[in-house]
Amino acid sequence: MRYIVTGGAGFIGSNLAEHLSRDHEVVIVDDLTSGQRQNIERIMDNSRVTFVEGSVTDLDLLMEIFAGADGIFHQAAIASVPRSVKDPLETNAVNAAGTVNVLWAAKECGVPSVVTASTSAIYGDDPVFPKRETMAPTPLSPYAVSKLAGEYYGKVFADLYGIRTVFLRYFNVFGPRQDPNSEYAAVIPKFITRLLDGKPPIVYGDGEQTRDFIFVADVVQANIRAMESEARGVFNIAGGRRISLNELAASLSEITGVDLRPVYEPPRAGDVRDSLAEISRAEEAFGFSPRYTLEAGLRETVEWFRDGRGGRRR
Hey, CA dihedral for 215, 222, 83, 243, is it positive or negative?
negative
Strand 210-211 to strand 243-244: parallel, antiparallel, or no bridges (unpaired)? antiparallel
Q: How far apart are the first and last CA of the chain?
A: 42
User: Nearest-CA neighbor of 258 among 179, 169, 197, 168?
Assistant: 197
User: Nearest-CA neighbor of 282 among 197, 188, 203, 219?
Assistant: 219
Q: Dihedral angle at the C-alpha atoms of 76, 35, 30, 143, nearest 10 degrees?
A: 20
Residue 145 and residue 137: Cα distance in Å, rounded? 9
Which is catalytic among the residues 123, 143, 153, 292?
143
Can 264 be counted among the known catalytic residues? no
Q: What is the DSSP letter of 277?
A: B
Active centre residues (catalytic):
143
